[in-house]
């Protein structure tokens, strides 16, 4: 097994374990990926929905989804 394919497998396992989430860099909208339903859901914090600015076009800072190789 090459090092590259080994790393790819490790990343795939990490992504299965780790919930996908994304936050907007412009407002405070925060979403989590629902793997069962297959779409983004607005995250909540202490029952407050982190909807951010409804007029924002949202510049997503995605955590854990994109891990491009150099």
8-47: contacts with Zn ion (CB under 5 A): 24, 26-27, 29
Closest to Zn ion by CB, 52 vs 64, is 52
Burial (Cβ within 10 Å: 0-12, 13-18, ≥19) of residue 33: middle
- 60, 29 contact by CB (below 8 A): no
Q: CB of residue 20 vs Zn ion: minimum separation in angstroms?
A: 17
Q: Which of 21, 32, 56, 64 binds Zn ion (CB under 5 A)?
A: 56
Residues that bind Zn ion (CB under 5 A): 24, 26-27, 29, 52, 56, 58
């Amino acid at each position: 097994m090459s090092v590259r394919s080994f790393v790819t497998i490790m990343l795939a396992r990490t992504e299965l374990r780790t919930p996908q989430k994304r936050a907007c860099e412009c407002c405070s909208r925060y979403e989590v990926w629902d793997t069962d339903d297959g779409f983004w859901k607005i995250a909540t914090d202490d029952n407050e929905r982190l909807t951010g600015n409804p007029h924002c076009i949202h510049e997503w800072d995605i955590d854990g989804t994109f891990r491009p190789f150099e």
